[in-house]
Amino acid sequence: MIALILAAGYATRLYPLTKDTPKPLLPVQGSRTILDLLLDRLEVLDEITEVLIVTNDRFFRAFEQWSQKYRGTKPIRILNDGTTSPEGRLGAIGDIQFAIGREQIQDDLLVLAGDNVLGFGLEEYLSYFHKVDKDCILVRTVDDIRELRSVGVAELDAEMRVLSLEEKPQAPRTNIGVFALYIYKRSTLTLFSRYLAEGGNPDAPSYFPEWLHSRQEVRAYYTDGAIDDVGTPEAYAEMRARLGG
């Protein structure tokens, strides 16, 4: 299994913090960055054979410098999607397809957002993926209507099969939020190019499973663990205070 970390955003809402520093490389625990904490979660997963980080041309050098100092055991490679501005970005799904095509990935793929801090390990999620042998999304209960309107929202059956998925709904059908942690079977990876060729939205990563579940079975894995996204300068300050940064 290969881990793909999406880190090609420009985080304009966090300016000036992220004008010259990509959000995943912001320190949140002393000198340790969001990306360092995310790699901690991957280091303990034996089946992850390689970590790919896809970023943009503006921040490529910063990630290269970070990778040269990283002391983990997983092989890490930084991919440059060639974009230079928010207006020209490929979008999350565009970057997934970029990585699949450039690296000719033919392995199961764990996709993660590079700007999330996870309050739980991923071992059980991977075990669930192997048990059900289906593409998987990660969900948790969200009771704040404002947060629900900012994420994907899923309907599930008793077997955790995805019945519907809607990105950023104004009138959410459930309180089951979908977060940027996906596991795709190697046989599914060719469908990303088909999705984009059919005019699928390349932006938010949950648009792809929204399209996929009507074509093949997609399962959901439930967690009650915390998933923190640094979306504003205030949220960043709160996270640093909480993590001892």
pLDDT tens for residues 111-134?
Answer: 999 999 999 999 999 999 999 999
Q: Distance between CA atoms of 165 and 223, rounded to whole angstroms?
A: 17
CATH number (domain holding residue 137): 3.90.550.10
- Residue 192: CB atoms within 10 A of its CB come to 23
Q: Is 23 exposed, middle or buried (0-12, 13-18, 19+ CB in 10 A)?
A: buried
Query: pTM (2 decimals)?
Result: 0.96
User: Could you tell me the pLDDT band of residue 95, with boundaries at 50, 70 and 90?
Assistant: very high
Q: Distance between CA atoms of 245 and 240, rounded to whole angstroms?
A: 4
- Select the more confidently predicted residue: 40 or 19: 40
Cβ within 8 Å of residue 35, ≥6 positions away: 5, 7, 24, 25, 53, 66, 114
Domain count, the chain: 1
Domain that holds residue 198: 2-243
DSSP code of residue 185: -
Q: Distance between CA atoms of 4 and 236, rounded to whole angstroms?
A: 24
Long-range pairs, 86-90, Cβ under 8 A, ≥24: 86/10, 86/12, 89/8, 89/9, 89/10, 89/56, 90/8, 90/202
Enter the tokens of residue 22: 């990509």
pLDDT more than 90, % of the chain: 87
Give pLDDT, residue 39: 98
pLDDT digits (tens, 9 = 90+) for 192-208: 999 999 999 999 999 99
User: Could you tell me the pLDDT band of residue 245, with boundaries at 50, 70 and 90?
Assistant: low
Cβ within 8 Å of residue 72, ≥6 positions away: 39, 43
User: Could you tell me the pLDDT band of residue 229, with boundaries at 50, 70 and 90?
Assistant: confident
Q: Distance between CA atoms of 22 and 237, rounded to whole angstroms?
A: 16
42 φ/ψ angles, rounded to the nearest 5 degrees: -85, -30
* Exposure letters 213-226 (e unless 16+ CB within 10 A, then b): beeeebbbbebeee
Enter the tokens of residue 226: 């915390």
